Amino acid sequence: MRNKNHRTTIARLIWQTGMVLVLALSLLAAAVVMKRVYMVQEALVVMFVTALLVAATLLLLVCFVLFQAGIRRTILWTIAVVPSLARFSHRQVASTNPIIPPPLQR
């Protein structure tokens, strides 16, 4: 693996697989041209559907990566902000003298 980026490797693998399928279907269509016209039409429809599926898969993967980055940023922001908000609380969380228990509030 040349590139250590996992997302780039997955996208490249999906792209290569899609291109292999499209090229194989193109060769199949070219071989069938001499036999029957409706087979060529079917092969073209299959190539079109395959291209749509590859595009949809890549779009879903990009959306997943962006969503994952947004969730990670939200979690990191929450971890960073919650302690600073707790400092602004008016209620004292711990007593200054740990031996004497805090008074009961009614």
**Inter-residue contact 50 to 18 (CB < 8 Å):** yes
Of the candidate ranges 21-30, 49-58, 94-103, the one whose mean pLDDT is the lowest: 94-103
Q: Look at residue 21 and tell me if it is in a domain.
A: yes
Closest CA to 47 of 28, 15, 25, 64: 25
- What is the distance between the alpha carbons of residues 99 and 90, in angstroms, rounded to a whole number? 22
pTM: 0.40
Q: Look at residue 51 and tell me if it is in a domain.
A: yes
Condensed to tens digits (0 to 9), the pLDDT of residues 51-100 reads 899 999 999 988 888 888 888 888 888 887 777 776 666 555 555 656 66
Q: Look at residue 38 and tell me if it is in a domain.
A: yes
* Domain limits for position 53: 6-62
- What is the distance between the alpha carbons of residues 17 and 45, in angstroms, rounded to a whole number? 18
Q: Look at residue 72 and tell me if it is in a domain.
A: no
* Number of domains making up the chain: 1
Q: Give the distance, in angstroms, between the CA of residue 53 and the centroid of all CA atoms in the same chain.
A: 16
Q: Look at residue 74 and tell me if it is in a domain.
A: no
Q: Look at residue 42 and tell me if it is in a domain.
A: yes
